[in-house]
């Protein structure tokens, strides 16, 4: 009887230590997003090209929403991949990339795109980061993958990396039947 | 000489009567108090342990603007807190709420205390009652003749 209690005590102490060791590897800067698998918050604002832009207009397609700013260093690192991804997915009718340039100036954004290359897709302009806060963004870059029905399916905190689309997005896109995708078009 | 005392007393009293310099928010918008209250209870998302109200980061300042807009639009405190909770999760609350998984944290100490009390109670009962093992040991092994003899010998040797 006594031995049982001793091993129970030992096991619980070990379990607590194991949890503690696991917790030490958590990044306190990374906040898990509760928005995944929730309907995407819509926005309607001005785009960097001066025309109005509305997220709901892309309903029916998979949308990669990329939050960035010309002040963001990691966005420079991410940019070549976004250029490549935009080039490679240009033919897809079911996938589109939309940028949100937040906490930025129009000149800053223009300079960034002139210097690092313009991937060709549209960017919502969000100087007061109202959209960013509405999307639970706390850093840059952050990206969301939204499915054709307008549900958020994935969040990437930090830069997208080469192979991200094939590894993270494509399995989701392929797992969703195309008939379902066309529903809300 | 005397009028100097009167003057200094007067000056002192006038100082006491004047409002402190920090209380300059008396002609602010009345809704600002609610903004402050909400912002003090929300964690700035890029700081580890600073409220939206205290933080100087750009994100916190813009979050404050969002809170102010919502207060002025007539939204309640619960609605605004919930708005941020929906987007940033329970990280955003500076004071953990007693909901969901957090309930474990709130109730575990009391559960531990209860288990401790029960264990202590059982232990006390155990110490106070003679255990069955002591009784059976005495009954099952009667004193061997050699042992009885030895005890008697030792007793005789002992001066009381």
The per-residue pLDDT for range B18-57, each reduced to its tens digit, is 555 555 556 778 889 999 999 999 999 888 889 999 999 9
With an 8 Å Cβ cutoff, is A138 touching chain B? yes
Supply the pLDDT for residue A181.
45
Q: Is B112 helix (H, G, I), strand (E, B) or coil?
A: helix
Domains in chain A and their CATH numbers?
33-180 (3.40.30.10)
Convert the pLDDT of each residue in B45-102 to its tens digit.
Answer: 888 889 999 999 999 999 999 999 999 999 999 999 999 999 998 889 988 887 777 8
Convert the pLDDT of each residue in A77-99 to its tens digit.
Answer: 999 999 999 999 999 999 999 99
Residue whose entry in the numeric block shows the structure tokens 């209870």: B41
> Residue A46: beta bridge partners?
A52
CB within 8 Å of chain A, chain B residues 15-74: 45-46, 48, 58-59, 62-63, 65-66
**Alpha-carbon separation of residue A16 from A23, A127, B73, B118, B119 (angstroms):** 10, 46, 47, 22, 21
Cα separation, A68 vs A74, whole angstroms = 9
Residues B113 and B69 in one domain: no
Residues B35 and B83 in one domain: yes
Does residue B3 form part of some domain? Answer: no
Chain B residues closer than 8 Å to A35 by CB: 86-87
Supply the pLDDT for residue A182.
46
Cα separation, A106 vs A118, whole angstroms = 14
Convert the pLDDT of each residue in B9-20 to its tens digit.
Answer: 766 677 666 555
Cα separation, B116 vs B121, whole angstroms = 8
Does residue B10 form part of some domain? Answer: no
Pairing outcome for strands A52-54 and A62-68: unpaired
Which residue range(s) make up the domain with B51?
27-92
Q: How many domains does chain B have?
A: 2
Locate the chain A residue with the closest alpha carbon to B61: A128
A133 with B85: Cβ contact below 8 A: no
A133 with B91: Cβ contact below 8 A: no
With an 8 Å Cβ cutoff, is B93 touching chain A? no
* Largest pairwise CA distance in chain B: 111
For residue B64 the two structure tokens come to: 């404050």
Chain B residues closer than 8 Å to A103 by CB: 58, 62
In Å, how far is B79's CA from the nearest CA of chain A?
A: 14
Supply the pLDDT for residue A185.
40
Does residue B126 form part of some domain? Answer: yes
Supply the pLDDT for residue B24.
56
Does residue B49 form part of some domain? Answer: yes
Convert the pLDDT of each residue in B111-125 to its tens digit.
Answer: 999 999 999 999 999
CB within 8 Å of chain B, chain A residues 4-33: 28-29, 31-33
Q: Give the pLDDT band (50/70/90) at residue B144.
A: confident
Q: Among residues B92, B109, B139, which one ends one of the domains? A: B92
Q: Give the pLDDT band (50/70/90) at residue A184.
A: very low
With an 8 Å Cβ cutoff, is B120 touching chain A? no
Residues B61 and B107 in one domain: no
Residues B107 and B153 in one domain: yes
Smallest Cβ–Cβ distance between A138 and the set B45, B65, B86 belongs to B45
> In CATH, what number is assigned to the domain containing residue B76?
1.10.8.640
Locate the chain B residue with the closest alpha carbon to A35: B87
Convert the pLDDT of each residue in A101-122 to its tens digit.
Answer: 999 999 999 999 999 999 999 9
A28 with B48: Cβ contact below 8 A: yes
Residues B75 and B112 in one domain: no
Prediction ipTM score:
0.81
Q: Among residues B61, B92, B123, which one ends one of the domains? A: B92
Supply the pLDDT for residue B4.
76
Cα separation, A59 vs A39, whole angstroms = 12
Smallest Cβ–Cβ distance between B46 and the set A34, A38, A138 belongs to A138
Does residue B129 form part of some domain? Answer: yes
In Å, how far is B48's CA from the nearest CA of chain A?
A: 8
Residues B64 and B118 in one domain: no
Residues B31 and B66 in one domain: yes
Residues B113 and B87 in one domain: no
Does residue B136 form part of some domain? Answer: yes
Residues B59 and B110 in one domain: no
Does residue B139 form part of some domain? Answer: yes
Residues B62 and B106 in one domain: no
Q: Among residues B67, B92, B117, which one ends one of the domains? A: B92
Supply the pLDDT for residue A173.
93
In Å, how far is A86's CA from the nearest CA of chain B?
A: 28
pLDDT at B135 exceeding the cut of 70: no
Q: Give the pLDDT band (50/70/90) at residue A27.
A: confident
């Amino acid at each position: 009887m006594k031995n049982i209690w001793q091993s129970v005590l030992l096991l619980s102490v070990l379990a607590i230590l194991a949890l503690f060791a696991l917790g030490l590897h958590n990044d306190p800067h990374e906040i898990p997003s509760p928005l995944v698998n929730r309907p995407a918050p819509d926005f309607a604002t001005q785009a960097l090209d001066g025309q109005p832009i509305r997220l709901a207009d892309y309903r029916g397609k998979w949308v990669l929403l990329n939050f960035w700013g010309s002040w963001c260093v990691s966005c420079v690192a991410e940019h070549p991949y976004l250029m490549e991804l935009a080039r490679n997915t240009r033919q897809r009718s079911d996938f589109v990339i939309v940028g949100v340039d937040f906490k930025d100036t129009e000149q800053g954004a223009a300079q960034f795109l002139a210097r690092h290359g313009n991937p060709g897709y549209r960017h919502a302009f969000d100087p007061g980061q109202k959209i960013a806060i509405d999307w639970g963004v706390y850093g840059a870059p952050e990206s969301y993958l939204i499915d054709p029905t307008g549900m958020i399916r994935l969040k990437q905190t930090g830069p997208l990396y080469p192979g991200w689309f094939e590894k993270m997005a494509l399995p989701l896109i392929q797992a969703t039947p195309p008939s379902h995708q066309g529903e809300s078009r | 000489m005397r009028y100097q005392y009167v003057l200094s007393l007067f000056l002192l009293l006038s100082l006491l009567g004047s409002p402190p310099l920090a209380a300059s928010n008396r002609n602010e918008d009345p809704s600002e108090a609610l903004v402050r209250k909400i912002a003090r209870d929300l964690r700035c998302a890029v700081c580890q342990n600073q409220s939206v109200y205290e933080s100087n980061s750009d994100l916190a300042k813009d979050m404050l603007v969002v809170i102010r807009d919502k207060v002025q639009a007539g939204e309640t405190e619960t609605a605004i807190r919930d708005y941020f909770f929906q987007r940033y999760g329970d990280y955003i609350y500076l004071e953990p709420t007693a909901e969901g998984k957090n309930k474990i944290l709130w109730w575990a100490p009391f559960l531990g205390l209860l288990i401790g009390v029960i264990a202590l109670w059982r232990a006390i009962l155990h110490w106070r009652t003679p255990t069955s093992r002591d009784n059976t040991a005495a009954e099952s092994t009667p004193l061997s003749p050699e042992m009885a003899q030895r005890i008697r010998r030792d007793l005789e040797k002992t001066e009381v």
